[in-house]
A and B are shown apart, each in its own frame.
Chain A
Amino acid sequence: MVQRELVELARKGDRDAFSALAASVVDRLFATAVLILRDHSMADDATQETIVRAWRDLPSLRDPDRFEPWLRRLLVNACRDEGRRHRRRRPEMTLLPSHEPAVGDSSLALADRDALERGFRRLSSDHRAAVVLHHYLGLSLPEVADATGVPLGTAKSRVHHATRALRAALEADARSGGMTRGGTA
């Protein structure tokens, strides 16, 4: 069954249709939340919250074809709420472990990954969300603006400010000599 049909059924309260819908999007939601929040536990909570909010508010979605952008906006808001909640609760977040071994990726040296990780963690969650939506999900800037609920100019500014900051982090790392570059780390 295509997504539109599932959305229409779920809007009318069909829980089975909603379960199928949720199963089809949960991996992407979770991956996006992990990248924005840099923490698996928080991403777990934000993804669950997004799915629950989607179920609760689905009847208010007028156009079933807008389900994906609508869901992305729910996710960004859930990540924002989760970030605030944890900021009040504990002083530091756990760092995201790397999911894959460092070898075998000649395009990205270990020093680059470290510099990116440090630079990325220094960005605000709003800037990280913009970068993830644009560079990971491949959304256009107007779509980033829609997903984050900000004007187009603000979305442009966030993506470019964040990208510039990350480029500066990489360049600073290169200037300082860094670690092994371009080889196996």
Chain B
Amino acid sequence: MSRNDDIDKTLESWLRRQAPRQAPDRVLDAALERVAEESQRRSWLQRLTGETPMTTLTRAAALTAVIAMAALIGFQFNTLVGNLDPTPSPSPSPTTTATASNAATPTPEPTPTLPAYCVNPLVDINTLIDLQSTGPLDPPRDPVACYGDAPLTFDATWLGGGVADCPTAPEPAWLACSAFSLQAPGDTRKVGAPSLGVAVDPSASLSLPSEPYAQVRVTGHFDDPAAQTCRETEPLPGASAEPDSQIIERCRNTFVITEVVAVEP
């Protein structure tokens, strides 16, 4: 039996012992009490398609409202486009510099094409963590759409890491299989602290903190040029190989650190 099998079995056995077999009655009771007071959310589409009782008049009114809103948005967009400088932008991606330091440089207003979830300028590391934490039905959020490859600076707690023990040998491993991570500044050695996975280019020869939980100010960017070379070289047993486009997208959305400076806690 390999060492991996050993640890897997030990871990599975330990987790089974730790897991309670039954939830206390109060959990379900309290949840159902709250459910009794809550109504379900229904989207406008469901209302229009008649999954709930609606009168013809209500449907007509809703449809009219949608058409009116679409017309209004179209009008606003045309007005906006008409007011813009006709000179085409040399780059299609956002190139704003976002910084969370106190001496923040003036940041251009976000362009109207940024997705609604973008927070630009960047507030702090939690902004980036939230980009990774989408809701159950939300589409994945794209940090590259928010920040392009612009340098971003924020304070964080260094958790350490390195190249993860990935089973599929993706390349370049430092970007596609990095296990470095950061948390919000301050003492975050507590249960439940969310973290931001980041990568460090070994060719950058950065001086990284030797111990975890160091307080640092990091600068880095998304959409590293090396992302275009990301490849999965060996599919995981039982799973189909991750398509190149998907792994490149994942690498582009990985924050690559270019500078780390220790700061006082």
Contact A57:B136 (CB < 8 A) given known A48-B30, A86-B192, A166-B11: yes
In this assembly, does A84 line the interface, its C-beta being within 8 Å of a C-beta of chain B?
yes
**What would be 17 A-B contacts, judged by CB atoms less than 8 Å apart?**
A12-B51, A30-B27, A51-B31, A59-B41, A87-B190, A107-B9, A124-B181, A131-B11, A136-B19, A149-B135, A151-B253, A154-B250, A156-B164, A157-B164, A157-B177, A161-B161, A163-B8
* B contacts with A: majority SS: loop
A124 to B189: give the CA distance in the assembly, Å. Answer: 8
Q: What is the distance, in angstroms, from A34's C-beta to the closest C-beta of chain B? A: 6
Q: What is the distance, in angstroms, from A171's C-beta to the closest C-beta of chain B? A: 9
Within 8 A of A (CB), among B158-210: 159, 161, 164-168, 170, 176-179, 181, 183, 188-195, 197
Residue contact A150 to B132, C-beta cutoff 8 Å: yes
Which 5 A-B residue pairings sit nearest by Cβ, starting from the closest? Answer: A83-B192, A30-B23, A51-B31, A31-B19, A157-B164
A77 to B134: give the CA distance in the assembly, Å. Answer: 8
Contact A83:B194 (CB < 8 A) given known A108-B10, A151-B246: yes
A125 to B155: give the CA distance in the assembly, Å. Answer: 20
Tell me the count of chain B residues lying within 8 A, CB to CB, of chain A. Answer: 77
Contacts of A107 in B (CB 8 A): 9-10, 13
Contacts of B1 in A (CB 8 A): none
Residue contact B177 to A98, C-beta cutoff 8 Å: no
A86 to B193: give the CA distance in the assembly, Å. Answer: 10
Contacts of A61 in B (CB 8 A): 137
Residue contact B19 to A34, C-beta cutoff 8 Å: yes
Contacts of A53 in B (CB 8 A): 136
Within 8 A of A (CB), among B12-29: 12-24, 26-28
